[in-house]
Amino acid sequence: MTTYNIDAAGFAEGAQFIASPNFDDRPQVQPGTEPSLGSAPEISLIVIHNISLPPGQYGGNGIIELFTNQLNPDEHPYYAEIHSFKVSAHFLIRRDGSLLQFVSCLNRAWHAGVSNWQGRERCNDFSVGIELEGSDFEGFEAAQYQTLNHLIAAIAKAYPIQAIVGHSDIAPGRKTDPGPYFDWKKIAS
């Protein structure tokens, strides 16, 4: 199993990089202060998601196409509903445990949407988003948990991570992922 390190540019060494245009700069802040020009970005939260495109199907290019704004609305009825969304995540862990990266950890990926963690709005500002290829309706693979744990360790070594949460924790009532089949006991905390 690959051990990952996050380099100074915010990339996981060993991950396959596919550039997403769906990101922007994080607000420049120091913990406990108001944003100011030239201060370092705070990255203190990991958000775990699940995704499959088409829904419930694995292994295709739908997720990559969504995150790179290349989803064909005629390819599947669900794609017609979501093809214009501008979304991304920092990482995607495939069913076989392979790791893809779409956005540098130093940038703000667009994965959380309207969100709140412990009174802080806009979780995209201070989080790293990790998508697991999966759904709310079945379990995840052992290889995914292995990669996830290695990735969490690398992120926590590079940044002052204070919590690891599900999308459902920061957007309750709006989001359900990583879903009831995600086994929180299998991840490092």
Which domains are present in the chain? 38-186 (3.40.80.10)
133 is catalytic: no
Single out the catalytic residue among 131, 133, 138, 141.
131
Task: Give the pLDDT score at 120.
Answer: 94
| Number of alpha carbons in the 13 Å side-chain half-sphere of residue 152 | 21
**Confidence band (pLDDT; 50, 70, 90) for 29?**
low
Q: At 144, is the pLDDT very low, low, confident or very high (cuts 50, 70, 90)?
A: very high
pTM confidence score: 0.93
Q: How many CA atoms lie within 13 A of 45 on its CB side?
A: 25
pLDDT at 189 over 80: no
pLDDT of residue 182 exceeding 50: yes
User: Is 90 exceeded by the pLDDT of residue 34?
Assistant: no
